[in-house]
Structure 1
Amino acid sequence: MTRIPASAVALAALAISWSVSAVRADPGFEARLTLSQGLKSIEKSGGTIEPGDEGFRSTTALDFGLTSVTSYQRFGIGVGADLDYIPDAADTFSTSREVANLGYEIQSRQSQFNIDLGYRSVDIEDSVFLDELTGEDVIADDGRREIVSISSALLMGREAPLSFSLRQQQSESRYTDTTDPDLRDSTSRSVAAELGLRVSPLVTLKADASWSDYDQDGPDGNWRTTRRAGLGASYQLSPITALSAGINYSTNRTDDQDDSDGLGYSLGLRQARPNGTVDLSLSSFETVNGTRSEFSLGRSLDFSWGVASLAVGASKTGGFEAQPTINGRIDYTLDKLSSFNLALSQAAVTGSENEETIRTQLSVGYSREMTPRSRLTGKLQLSDRDVLGSTSEDQSVLRADLAYAHEIGQDWNLVSGYEYSRTDREILEDRKSSTLFLKLEKTFAYRP
């Protein structure tokens, strides 16, 4: 945790980094300021627990954003930070969160361009967090993490016979104030381009190419570079049935020279039904761990109360055994006051250490409007990592959140809740964390 003397609190407040809300908003200009003051009671077990990681603390949060929306462009920018006060012997102040995003989008009937920049700095002492660069849950004992990201996309010919798209993304993750050798600075970059040609109302051709790179710093860091190029076509067999096919060539380069390259393919069949679709897909492509072949059969359903989808299949990579895969989702509106959603997925992925991994994720959410002025929300998340050929890196993370919000005045809300997390890993002590919180928040909005 970054410690700040009490005398420097004013400077810390002035040094709040930028944060932005999503640029999606109603037409016009809007400025929004949200202030909150809260109390937390934290209990932890397992791992390295330092003084100040547990007990009571006070958190002051500030988020400010500007959005401007017209018929053809959107712009947004903002700032945000959390300032914690820990009533220990030193009366410690610390900034546990600093975030920033900037977004701009301009579009016409045939083209669109958007760019997003982001910055986030958060305390990671004795915590488990999701690494967006790899999609993995990371266990940390101490330190602070900074992420800087930029992404952009250009689309041309959206409604024309000839279309082109170009997408770019780069993210950098940096750690400070930590002695953990497993927390390595890393960079993720990718570029993808696609050219499409609609030959007739029934036939569309495409050519695509992509490049991605993941690089960890340090003598023990890993890096992986993937290049892929492909050709594909889609054909409307009937008013309700579409067929797609493609071939690709991939090359993979790694730090341990475990390189691979080869041809791949993809086949897809979709049939529309009165209340949804049926999908069948087959694919094969090269990874650093060998050729990965996948099969999937899915069904989506549209109901008056919501939507549901389920796809089941199998995946096999190189010399590893075949593994089952699943991708399902339910969005259910129980009544006018409540909703329920569930998402479940299991897929084969390449981990940050270039290991073959089966990643399973479950998310369950519930929301109910108790009264016209109050709402109850709950969420449960489970993430499991199974490293094939090894058990030392297997890991599961459980998170649960419950919150109750009550409007006590115009733009004033009183929010209370409970947060719980548990981490189980084969070679490490299990960790648990529970937090009770109560906060009062006020939102000021201005629209000329």
Structure 2
Amino acid sequence: MTRAARRRSGRPFRTVVAGLAVLLPLAAAAQDADPSAPGVQLTVGQQLAVEDGDLIGITPLDLSIRRATRAQVLQFNLSAPFHLNDPEEDSTFALGDPQGRLLFRRGARNAALEFELGYRENDLDREILFDDLSNEFVTLDGGRVAQTDARLTYVFGSQSKLGGEFGLSWLQRDYSGTTDPDLDDHETRSGNIAVYLEPTPLIRARILAEASRTDGDDGNDSRSNRYGAGASMQVDKLTNLDVELARTNIRRFDEGVLETAEGPSLRLGLTRARPLGDWSLSLGSEPGTAGRREDFNIGRNLELRRFDLSGQVGVTRFRDNYDPIFQISYRQEFSRVSQVQASLSRAGVTDDDGDEALNTDVAASYSRQISDVSTIAANIRYRESEVQSGDNQDARSVSFGLDYSRALPGDFALVAGANIIRSKDGDGERDDEDRVYLGVNRSFSFLR
């Protein structure tokens, strides 16, 4: 069976202050929240699945709670599927892949507070292909991973010349049943603070500081600090420039060996508005214990009546090697009942051990409402990691999914589908998974 996972990656600290204008939608979203949104929705069902020749009974349980006013939003989502006779579980009746998330957001005209707490547990084969983990390495391994995370963000001074942002985040990942020694349990704590100043109506400057700490059970620890300054400037009516210059310090213990990196980091972004969409240019340079990585991109967005298209092309430099990078996304609504989405990206990533890789990600999906009561959807995703430093193997994995749903009387719904996964690593090792399922769900709504 395909197994894919790599520890939370990106630079040791990826929560980068991108400007107060990016963070202020916290307040706007709270003010614009729909008070008439449904209060509680519960979905239960019974499904039969055939996976690799084994017949499995699945009882999905999904709970959604949402309470909203113009000033605040409280939202809770829980998914807890129960499995019967699953050969991968230790008992006959077991909890499958539980997931839960709590979100609280409160906003005012000049400030916003957001808190989020989440938990999820799943097989490693679904960690990369069915979750948005674009910065993880693809590896083939068995077992499961449980992730608990929390985040707190506070923004103030949104309508004044002096403002700021304060953020804290925590992540715990626990692995079980794995054979890869690099998949060790670890905890990451990070925080950031930024102060924004507006000396003129066309310039918004910022002073920032960031820190991250990762502690692994195997003794491999990582420390990262970053501090600097930046500014967002309106060059003219059509052009905006954002520049950030910082000092980065990284200390990492890998199997008892101390690895360090220190130096300046530069980020530059330029956008120019055009009638059909924006042009953009970005430049980044970041130090790392395995070498400095530099990225350069040119992008274009097109917003037409029939479809949206955006793309970036560029080059990344690592250890004097140049590799092309790109990102393309496409979305089109053929009619009110059908739409298609597709994306293609290739980018350099760094994990907590300082290992570097080039990740390629291809995804496409199509959905169509066949009638007033039935819908069909298909999706495909391909992921590949080309390792540039470290002892990991190159690996690639592809998945295909087909889902069908049909509304039945009495708030019942018929669901059916199939999932196929194929994977292979640099040593030629292959892992496959096939699942076909059929079932009936029913939804209950309360407190509307």
| TM tier, smaller | 0.7 to 0.9
Aligned to 2:357: 357
Contact 2:99/2:119 (8 A) holds in 1: yes
Give how far 1:391 is off. Answer: 8.2
The answer to whether residue 245 in structure 2 is matched with residue 247 in structure 1 is yes
Q: Which stretch shifts more, 195-204 or 397-406?
A: 195-204
* CA distance in 2 between partners of 1:38 and 1:349 (Å): 39
Gaps of 5+ in 2: 1-28
Q: Where does 1:237-316 land on structure 2 (aligned, <5 Å)?
A: 237-255=235-253, 256-316=257-317
Q: Relative to 1, partners in 2 of residues 1:389 and 1:291: Cα closer, same or farther, differing over 3 Å?
A: closer
Aligned to 1:399: 399
Aligned to 2:35: 27
Contact 1:32/1:66 (8 A) holds in 2: yes
Aligned to 1:152: 152
* CA distance in 1 between partners of 2:350 and 2:330 (Å): 27
Q: Deviations over 1:36-62 (max 9, x none)?
A: 11000011xxxxxxxxxx411110111
* CA distance in 1 between partners of 2:73 and 2:154 (Å): 15
The answer to whether residue 54 in structure 2 is matched with residue 55 in structure 1 is yes
Q: Deviations over 1:245-277 (max 9, x none)?
A: 231111111113220101122332211101111
Q: Relative to 1, partners in 2 of residues 1:413 and 1:243: Cα closer, same or farther, differing over 3 Å?
A: same
Aligned to 1:420: 420
Aligned to 1:141: 142
* CA distance in 1 between partners of 2:78 and 2:279 (Å): 45
SS at match of 1:275: coil
* CA distance in 2 between partners of 1:91 and 1:99 (Å): 20
* CA distance in 2 between partners of 1:134 and 1:297 (Å): 21
Q: Where does 1:346-385 land on structure 2 (aligned, <5 Å)?
A: 346-385=346-385
Q: Answer with 1 or 2: which has the greater Rg.
A: 1
Q: Where does 1:100-139 land on structure 2 (aligned, <5 Å)?
A: 100-123=100-123, 127-130=125-128, 135-139=136-140
* CA distance in 2 between partners of 1:178 and 1:279 (Å): 43
Contact 1:129/1:137 (8 A) holds in 2: no
Q: Where does 1:35-46 land on structure 2 (aligned, <5 Å)?
A: 35-43=44-52
Contact 1:129/1:138 (8 A) holds in 2: no
Aligned residues: 410
Give how far 1:31 is off. Answer: 1.4
* CA distance in 2 between partners of 1:410 and 1:394 (Å): 50
Give how far 1:179 is off. Answer: 6.2
Q: Where does 1:114-263 land on structure 2 (aligned, <5 Å)?
A: 114-123=114-123, 127-130=125-128, 135-142=136-143, 144-176=144-176, 181-218=181-218, 222-255=220-253, 256-263=257-264
| Letter of the structure 2 residue corresponding to residue 31 of structure 1 | V
Normalized against structure 1, the TM-score is what?
0.85
Give how far 1:223 is off. Answer: 2.8
SS at match of 1:199: strand
* CA distance in 1 between partners of 2:343 and 2:329 (Å): 4
* CA distance in 2 between partners of 1:76 and 1:246 (Å): 35
Give how far 1:78 is off. Answer: 4.7
Give how far 1:108 is off. Answer: 0.4
* CA distance in 1 between partners of 2:187 and 2:45 (Å): 34
Normalized against structure 2, the TM-score is what?
0.85
Q: Which stretch shifts more, 378-387 or 97-106?
A: 97-106
Give how far 1:292 is off. Answer: 1.7
| Letter of the structure 2 residue corresponding to residue 297 of structure 1 | I
Q: Which has the higher strand share?
A: 1
| Letter of the structure 2 residue corresponding to residue 36 of structure 1 | G
Q: Relative to 1, partners in 2 of residues 1:336 and 1:179: Cα closer, same or farther, differing over 3 Å?
A: closer
Give how far 1:394 is off. Answer: 0.3
| Letter of the structure 1 residue corresponding to residue 54 of structure 2 | G
Q: Deviations over 1:165-214 (max 9, x none)?
A: 11221110113456664531112222122221122221221111111233
- The structure whose RCO (Cα within 8 Å, separation 6+) is larger is 2
* CA distance in 1 between partners of 2:179 and 2:172 (Å): 19
Give how far 1:113 is off. Answer: 0.4
Alignment RMSD: 2.5
* CA distance in 2 between partners of 1:201 and 1:151 (Å): 32
Q: Which stretch shifts more, 263-272 or 340-349?
A: 263-272
SS at match of 2:281: strand
Give how far 1:424 is off. Answer: 0.9
Q: Relative to 1, partners in 2 of residues 1:64 and 1:87: Cα closer, same or farther, differing over 3 Å?
A: closer
* CA distance in 2 between partners of 1:91 and 1:290 (Å): 47
SS at match of 2:96: strand
SS at match of 1:342: strand
Q: Deviations over 1:303-349 (max 9, x none)?
A: 112321111111112x2411111111111111111111111111111
* CA distance in 1 between partners of 2:385 and 2:252 (Å): 22
| Letter of the structure 2 residue corresponding to residue 74 of structure 1 | V
Q: Which stretch shifts more, 71-80 or 402-411?
A: 71-80
Q: Relative to 1, partners in 2 of residues 1:95 and 1:87: Cα closer, same or farther, differing over 3 Å?
A: closer
